[in-house]
Amino acid sequence: MKEQEVYSVIGESGFEQLVAGFYRQVPSDDILGPLYRGIDLAGAEQRLREFLIFRFGGPERYIDARGHPRLRMRHAPFAVTEAARNRWLRLMATALAETEMPVEVKEMLWTYFESTATAMINA
């Protein structure tokens, strides 16, 4: 399976469940929660969902609304430490485990999440 085929396998609902499962954990998290204070959590959830849908072969609504992802630039205002990266991955691992999708898709998403989260470290 190619990354661009993920959307056709899990659809909109797969990404909705995954991202909702992740953001359900954020407010009470001692590391990530403070990073999101004062931020529109529903908006952040929507942006991540739309980005992942675009990134994995779905409609380009993210690009239409926000342009090029420029992930490092968009995360620059936040102190993304190695601890924050590790916690982000831990919460996402929980969300992946709770979301019904083929193992092959989970592995593909996880590989992407690990490398991208590492690239976001800026502090």
Tokens of 35: 């990073």
Between CA 18 and CA 49 the distance in angstroms is 8
Number of residues assigned to the chain? 123
State both tokens at 72.
């490092």
Q: What is the pLDDT along the chain (123 residues), one digit of tens a residue?
A: 999 999 999 999 999 999 999 999 999 999 999 999 999 999 999 999 999 999 999 999 999 999 999 999 998 888 899 999 999 999 999 999 999 999 999 999 999 999 999 999 999
Total tally of structural domains belonging to the chain: 1
Phi then psi for residue 34, to 5 deg, are: -60, -30
Contact indicator for 8, 57 with CB cutoff of 8 Å:
yes
What is the residue type of 68? H
Report the alpha-carbon distance of residue 56 to residue 4 in Å, rounded: 5
Record the pTM.
Answer: 0.95
* CATH number of the CATH domain containing 35: 1.10.490.10
Q: Which domain holds residue 80?
A: 3-119
pLDDT of res. 101: 98
